[in-house]
Chains A and B, each alone.
Chain A
Amino acid sequence: MTTQSQTYKPDMMGAVLAAFKRLDPRYQIRNPVMFLVWVGSVITTAILGVMFANPGTLISGGQPVWFVGLICFWLWFTVLFANFAEAIAEGRGKAQADSLKKARRDVSAKKLDKAKRQTVVAANTLRKGDLIIIEAGDAVPADGQVIEGIASVDESAITGESAPVIRESGGDRDAVTGGTRVLSDWIIVRVTADPGESFLDKMIGLVESAKRQKTPNEIALSILLAALTLVFLLACATLLPFSLFSVEKAGSGTVISIVVLIALLVCLIPTTIGGLLSAIGISGMQRLIKANVIASSGRAVEAAGDINVLLLDKTGTITFGNRQAVEFLPAPNVTARQLAEAAELSSLADETPEGRSVVTLARAQFDIAVRAAADIEATFIPFSAEHRASGVIINERHIMKGAGDAIAKLVALKGGQVPSGVNAAVEDIARKGGTPLLVAEGPKVLGVIYLKDIVKPDIKTRLAELRKMGIKSVMITGDNPLTAAAIASEAGVDDFIAEATPETKLKYIRKMQEGGEMVAMVGDGTNDAPALAQSDVAVAMNSGTQAAKEAGNMVDLDSDPTKLIEIVEIGKQLLMTRGALTTFSISNDLAKYFAIIPAAFATTYPALGVLNVMGLSSPLSAILAAVIFNALIIVALIPLALKGVKYRAESASNMLTRHALIYGLGGIIAPFIGIKIIDLGLTAVGLV
């Protein structure tokens, strides 16, 4: 499993250029918070223009030109910083999009007509349902399903994985993706996607964020931010009449200036989260892409954070996927060595991992000489679905090994029977979650091989972490309930579905969802498709069938079922980052009030000076410092928005405590310090 090898260096120049290009109001209007800053900047610029044209004007309420100029400058920068954050987040995906686009370069395809005659056509003329032949060295021109043949395919352009994979008709490995390349042999493929709708096109669209739509939670948050913005707009707009009235009644001072009102408004509206919101969403998607997972929409990433039931395949996720021999249990009156020797002989030609493990164990335990199947004179009987057993005939010895009932049938044919001691051992092994294999020579049963499913060493801690986060893990296995229960307890899963069929999986998911649970699962086969389609988060393996990929809302390019856990973490991290920055943004406002209110009314009500708790040097400096802080905090938080809040597996209440302290309380305190420092800086350079 390699992840994408290209490390992307952010294109700073490109992002800066994009930041300026996006000053276009048609672009800004999409984000009401930043649009308001944009409008404020335009008004301030206009005021500045009037002040230059007519030096005697009172339009700024008597404030000096340099002050209005600086406010104007920093307001524009607030907008630019937000644009920059978005551009840099998008830029991270661009490198990958470019390499994907290279894979999409125009190729030709060998189209087959009904008589299987080849014609060479351009790839972009292929339509759903067309048949094509792809031979060694050809690029795969479109997404499709292999209907004939077998070939090795280089998928590195998409997955970053350099080792070729096998694609063949029938079974679970029949999907080919446009942009990959056939290395050997040939396949006939039925095209499954029209041009522009292929997997590659979708991927490019996603990483470029061209098709980025706001997710439901992002929309809800935008509504909240717009409402807050409206409240502050009202609070600031009504301040003008209040100020007029106060000046009139107090008989002294000057009315608050438009420039100061705009400065106050921009400081109060949630520009931090407003400016970073889309960058957070984009980089959440990027993190997923970095993990080599392609989501069909941002919505799926969000849903991943909400998952509370994980359906995990036993094989490959919880266990290593191949059972290994761990013990020989001889029948009465048979020595363990006899059994081991017979088992080793019968497994010499058995190339399955189970077979090899029998050979290895026998040699390790009993010093049996190393020999290869080809070196001895024997007839090997390969495993057949009919007899469900395999074996060897050597020097008149007829040794068979296989499942309990299969061997019982075989020895019965030869007049033998399974001793009760062996039956007890078989049951015992099954109860412990293992697989018993019987070994028989002629009519005589020699004993049992204990094959064990090896649980991955780190899975238990990972599942415990999930439980801490309130996520239930469910193991899916084709094993019988007894075996399943044993492995389930060893791995520490919360529940299991034994003897799972596509129907039982679907039923389980439906039952969970009726109880309000959000379910995630991994699948690769065509028979997984219904369950994948029913799941809230469905990760299809890239090695899987086209049907599975279409039913899922994510594709894992590494085809690693363990990835599901990582996906859930990425989803949670995305939501956490959004919440943390929103909290921080709102908490910031308190300090800004303390900076601006006393400054704004310094001439009308000098007594309000006691609210200047930060001891800012002058009213102009205070307002300027607040505006500068407000702009710089966006830049300062870009890395956090891109990287996401640090994720730890812990319960919701611990998480809440930590984040409330850092981003809530921290958000209240930080600007007091920041604004003071900027004020000191402004004073030091002698500006104010």
Chain B
Amino acid sequence: MMLGVTPSGWLQLGFYMCVLTALAVPLGGYIARVLSGERTTMSFLLGPVERAFLNLSQSRPSEDMTWKQYAGAVIAFSLGGFLLLFGLLLAQGVLPLNPQGLPGLTPDLAFNTAVSFVTNTNWQSYGGEMTLSYFSQMVGLTMQNFVSAAVGIAVLAVLMRSLSRQSTDKLGNFWTDLVRINLYILLPLALIVAVILGSQGVIQTFSAYITAQTIEGGQQTLALGPVASQEAIKMLGTNGGGFFNTNSAHPFENPTPFSNFVELISILILPAALCFTFGKMVGDKRQGVAIFAAMTLVFVPMTVACIALEQSGNPHLIAAGADSAINMEGKETRFGIANSALWATATTAASNGSVNAMHDSFTPLGGMIPMILMKFGEVIYGGAGSGLYGMLVFVILTVFIAGLMVGRTPEYLGKKIGGYEIKMASIAVLFPCALVLICTAVAVLSPLGQAGIYNPGAQGFSEVLYAFTSAANNNGSAFAGLGANNPFYNSLLGLCMLFGRFFVLLPVLAIAGSLAAKQTVPASAGTLPTHTPLFVAILIGVIVLVGVLTYAPALALGPVIEHLIMIKG
């Protein structure tokens, strides 16, 4: 065992990373063609559909928008999506495809859920099969699973265009981008993944739940539903909102090791591929590789640590008479340690948030790793589009500091980074941090917040911290154990998700607007190289340092102290 990880653990991680990279590179190139408006292999099939959609929206694809127009379109579209979903959830009881006759949601839960899906967070205060009808899941949630991911990719496309264009304010058309991303990227990918998952036994049905007779003679209700179609985009769009309450630990969502592998790949495939899209769109593939490398170099060690921590488990288990200290609590035996830990890091590295094991039951430090990955601002792969644009915000900050050290005013890909970019980048980094810290403080101080904390001491603190970290960074996974379905948490977490999404997205668009207007300075020997291993190392240093420095005190009072108390016994 190296570093406390079994050979099979290493093998599974290595195999996973190889397959991921091998798929991400060509997919990244394909996405670049889609975002550049080029014809693709799918065009002959989907071209007419695309035109029909654009005619419907009365948008002329040739009409490029300024960043402000684009931001306006994003806000209008998200607001419309929110109102639609909010209304739909409230009125669920009278809408069709509701074989269980589930009632409408309370306003606070409907608000929380609608915000959650519109912001690509998929925090679930509701209980999946116990709360939502097939109609709500398919028409309401699945639609947002697609379009919220598309919005993220569209905003990224604007940022990429701003780096490759110069002296312009034209950055693409939101409606064209939205249609093309859904039609050419998300739908085909989701179709492929849904078919594979269906072949593994993920169910797809509209029939009512069935009641089965168990071998012991008891009665059990088996919840059913159109799962496969939603499962695919849930993973691909870094959404994570499970059809069932137990998410991908549920056998109808994730029945076999193969389905588990396909879903794992689906979590990271788009955020990883977008790195290569980036390299292609800015005309320097090395830049994309560098960013992918930076993400991978954070992800792999974190995963290894998580596997090792879960593998070494809790020393007290042996004392209590167990065969080994391995921490299998909250994990599915069909996945084991490596696949559960890999899922936990992948889902929090990307802003997916689906789970195949219960993070709350991880060892204190094992559970801290997913939390840290989210605290990095969801930029280690991150959400579809949002991960890379968040990463590019960090790149801008890194370039600013490192660039000065080479005796030039800082520039990235030939674009000077000035006060305006720094201001916007600061807002984008600051807001999620501020939301997490302030809301956690409010929750642990107020009686309403304390009422939801069921676990004592540091564990209870970690749960609250995890919830707000997840919401503000638009991840959506939860450290279960926190009673979050009440007006207090529903509204506070809802606001976190809302601000956490738009106070990153809007500054990013503003940066794009400013960069596009600038001239591109040609590279020379005096230019800070941003594709070298050294730059990657500095970038990682900045991300880790910002994450550590901001959250160190909070983490010390949560998982760190819990771990120390655990090993002391």
Contacts and interface: CB of A to CB of B under 8 A. Distances in A.
Interface of A: 216-217, 219-221, 223-224, 226-227, 230-232, 234-239, 241-246, 249-250, 264, 268, 302, 305-306, 308, 467-472, 514-518, 571-573, 575-576, 578-580, 582-583, 586-587, 589-590, 593, 597, 601, 605, 607-608, 610-611, 647, 651-653, 655-657, 659-660, 663-664
B413 to A, nearest CB: 12
B401 A583 contact: yes
Given A516-B522, A652-B528, A653-B529, A223 B423 contact: yes
A608 B457 contact: no
Contacts of A582: 401, 404
Given A235-B553, A244-B445, A216 B522 contact: no
A608 B561 CA distance: 6
28 contacts: A216-B409, A220-B400, A220-B422, A221-B404, A223-B422, A226-B426, A227-B422, A235-B437, A235-B553, A238-B438, A244-B445, A245-B444, A245-B445, A245-B461, A302-B409, A515-B522, A516-B166, A579-B405, A583-B405, A586-B545, A590-B548, A607-B565, A610-B564, A653-B534, A657-B534, A659-B405, A660-B537, A664-B538
A469 B557 CA distance: 48
B402 interface: yes
A597 B555 CA distance: 11
Interface string B72-83: 000000000000
Contact of B407 (A231, A305, A518, A601): A305
A223 B552 contact: no
B414 interface: yes
A517 B520 CA distance: 9
B437 A238 contact: yes
Given A572-B407, A593-B552, A656-B405, A605 B557 contact: yes
B460 A249 contact: yes
A306 B407 CA distance: 8
Contacts of B561: 246, 601, 605, 607-608
A575 B408 contact: yes
B417 interface: yes
Given A216-B419, A608-B560, A651 B525 contact: yes
A242 B440 contact: yes
Contacts of A223: 419, 422-423, 426
A517 B522 contact: yes
B565 A469 contact: no
Nearest to A234: B437
Contact of A656 (B441, B534, B551): B534
Interface string B520-531: 111011111100
Contact of A660 (B405, B418, B426): B405
Contacts of B520: 516
A611 B408 contact: no
Contacts of A514: 519
A516 B414 CA distance: 8
A226 B426 CA distance: 9
A495 B554 CA distance: 59
B181 interface: no
B409 A575 contact: yes
Given A231-B550, A576-B405, A469 B526 contact: yes
A343 B58 CA distance: 86
Nearest to B435: A234
A221 B422 CA distance: 8
A62 to B, nearest CB: 20
Interface in B498-533: 519-522, 524-529, 532
Interface residues of A: mostly helix, strand, loop or mixed?
Answer: helix
Contacts of A227: 422, 426-427, 429-430
A517 B411 CA distance: 13
A559 to B, nearest CB: 26
Given A220-B422, A576-B407, A607 B521 contact: no
Contact of A652 (B461, B525, B552): B525
Contacts of B538: 656, 660, 664
Contacts of B534: 653, 656-657, 660
A575 B400 contact: no
Contacts of B320: none
Contacts of B397: 224
A652 B526 contact: yes
Contacts of B444: 241-242, 244-245
Contacts of A268: 549
B456 interface: yes
Given A663-B405, A664-B538, 20 more contacts: A217-B404, A219-B419, A220-B400, A224-B401, A227-B426, A230-B434, A231-B550, A234-B550, A235-B437, A470-B525, A517-B521, A573-B407, A576-B406, A580-B405, A583-B402, A589-B545, A589-B549, A601-B556, A605-B557, A605-B565
A607 B445 CA distance: 24
Contacts of B35: none
Contacts of A597: 552-553, 556
Nearest to B457: A249
Contact of A468 (B419, B521, B525): B525
B433 A242 contact: no
Contacts of B535: 656
A434 B538 CA distance: 52
A243 B564 contact: no
A86 to B, nearest CB: 20
Contacts of A652: 406-408, 525-529
A610 B566 CA distance: 14
Contact of B406 (A232, A586, A605, A655): A655
Contacts of A224: 397, 400-401, 422, 426
A235 B434 CA distance: 8
A575 B528 contact: no
Nearest to A244: B445
A663 B406 CA distance: 12
A224 B402 CA distance: 13
B458 interface: yes
Contact of A470 (B400, B421, B524): B524
Contacts of B554: 235, 238-239, 242
A203 to B, nearest CB: 25
Nearest to A239: B553
B556 A516 contact: no
B403 interface: yes
The 10 closest A-B pairs by CB, nearest first: A579-B404, A470-B526, A572-B407, A470-B524, A227-B426, A470-B525, A579-B405, A607-B564, A220-B419, A245-B444
B39 interface: no
Interface in B329-365: none
Given A579-B401, A579-B402, A231 B433 contact: yes
A191 B238 CA distance: 71
A575 B549 contact: no
A245 B519 CA distance: 52
A651 B526 contact: yes
Contacts of A656: 402, 405-406, 528-529, 534-535, 538
B14 interface: no
Nearest to B525: A470
Nearest to B407: A572
B399 to A, nearest CB: 11
B568 A249 contact: no
Given A238-B438, A242-B554, A220 B519 contact: no
A239 B405 CA distance: 34
B257 interface: no
A582 B410 CA distance: 14
Contacts of B526: 308, 469-471, 651-652
Contacts of A571: 407
Contacts of B419: 216, 219-220, 223
B434 to A, nearest CB: 5
Contacts of A305: 407-409
Nearest to B445: A241
Interface in B367-404: 397, 400-404
Given A235-B550, A593-B549, A242 B461 contact: yes
